[in-house]
Amino acid sequence: MKLITADASPFVRKVRVLILELGLQDSVVLEDAGPITPVSINAGLNAINPLGMIPALELDDGDSLYDSTVICEYLNQAAHGPFFPSDPSRRFRTLRLQALGDGMLDLSVALRRCNGRNGSIAKMLKSNAASIRWKIFATVSNRLP
Ligand SMILES: N[C@@H](CCC(=O)N[C@@H](CS)C(=O)NCC(=O)O)C(=O)O
Q: How confident is the model at residue 16 (pLDDT cuts 50, 70, 90)?
A: very high
> pTM for the complete prediction?
0.87
Q: Judge if the beta carbon of residue 111 lies within 6 A of ligand 1.
A: no
Q: What is the pLDDT of residues 80-120, one digit of tens each?
A: 999 999 999 999 999 999 998 998 898 888 877 777 777 77
**CA 5 to mean position of chain CA atoms:** 11
Which pLDDT does position 143 carry in this prediction? 58
Q: Which of 46, 53, 113 to mutate to test the pocket of ligand 1 (most atoms within 8 A of CB)?
A: 53
Q: Judge if the beta carbon of residue 38 lies within 6 A of ligand 1.
A: yes
Q: Judge if the beta carbon of residue 53 lies within 6 A of ligand 1.
A: yes
- Ligand 1 center from residue 67 Cα (angstroms): 8
Nearest-angstrom CA–CA distance, 52 and 66:
10
> Which residues 6+ apart lie within 8 Å of 60 measured at CB?
1
Q: What is the pLDDT of residues 113-136, one digit of tens each?
A: 777 777 777 777 777 777 777 777
